[in-house]
Structure 1
Amino acid sequence: MAFQTTRPLRFGDCDPSGIAYFPSYLRILDGVMEEFFETLGAGRADLIGERRIGTPTLRLDVTFVHPGFHGDQLEFTARVRGIGRSSLDLEHEVSAGGNVLWTARQRLVATSLETHKSLAWPDDIRAALTHHLETPTDA
């Protein structure tokens, strides 16, 4: 089951010509991932403050297809494609007005904020992630 949300492309996210500035996309994606984890019952305040778990990005492969423009409503779809002991593989599709703007493959890893080493996903988070797990034929 894919996670979906919408974000506006604001003036500050664009270059002087009104086209999305690509680093802004990554900042917005980070906020989308924060919202996704909140729906899992694992918001950042809990993960970082209470559980002392980080979720850094290990790999991110982005393909830009069409430009985004100031005022676009960005439609984010995140699909869980794999869950390892400590890793999480996601596929993202971002569109506006029915056009795919960019796609990304991302691998996050659960880490201890005390040791900065990977750690296994806690059982409750793993169960919530598993609920979202899709196979390529599910798309």
Structure 2
Amino acid sequence: MFTNTTRVEIQFGDCDPAGIVYYPNYFRFFDNATAGMLSAAFGMHKRNWLQHYGIAGIPMVDTGARFIRPSSFGDLVEIKSEITELGRSSFSVQHSLFKDGELAIEAHEKRVWVVRDDQGGIRSAPLPDQVRQLLSAEAESAERTEND
């Protein structure tokens, strides 16, 4: 399935008083990595694919992580993100964060493809065939840096 690698330079504001990344910031990194992966798969920026596919978003319905090694201000980490499962209206992503070439965090997330309903709320919608095809592809995009 589709994979993408994102490089992130850890900023001072990402860290807690102990000098290591405050754990919720990893989930922000993973959210950005998922958006970057989908942008690479779809060949367009998130603001464009939201409009192109007519969706309200891709909210997360499940997530978790296993923290192995901490990261600190100034570290350059790589996040390899991979689509691991395609459901009717959902998809799963596995993130592997590497620091100095060693696995530092394993994380997963499940997201749902949602559209606006007639009452202004949101509801799940089936993944379009084109999206399913693109996310099933065996491809690795060029690395990108979050701060670019």
- Bin for the TM-score computed over the shorter chain: 0.7 to 0.9
Match of 2:142 in 1: none
Q: 1:64 aligns with which of 53, 62, 67?
A: 67
User: Which blocks of at least 5 consecutive residues in structure 1 are unaligned?
Assistant: 134-139
Alignment-derived partner of residue 145 in structure 2: none
Alpha-carbon distance between aligned partners in 2 of 1:2 and 1:35, rounded to the nearest angstrom: 10
In the alignment, what sits opposite 1:105?
Answer: 108
Does the 8 Å contact 2:97/2:106 carry over to 1? yes
**Residue in 2 aligned with 1:136?**
none
2:49 pairs with 1:43: no
- How high is the sequence identity, in percent, across the aligned residues? 26
Alignment of 1:1-139 (within 5 A): 1-41=2-42, 43-50=45-52, 51-114=54-117, 115-132=121-138
Q: CA RMSD in A?
A: 1.8
Equivalent position amino acid for 2:128 in 1: P
Cα contact 1:111–1:119 (8 A) shared by 2: yes
Query: Which runs of structure 1 show a deviation greater than 4 angstroms over 4 or more consecutive aligned residues?
Result: none
Distance 2:91 2:14 in 1: 27
TM-score (norm 2): 0.81
For residue 121 of structure 1, give the secondary structure of its aligned residue in structure 2. coil
Deviation at 1:73, TM superposition (A): 0.8
Query: Do the aligned residues in 1 keep the contact of 2:97 with 2:103 (CA within 8 Å)?
Result: yes
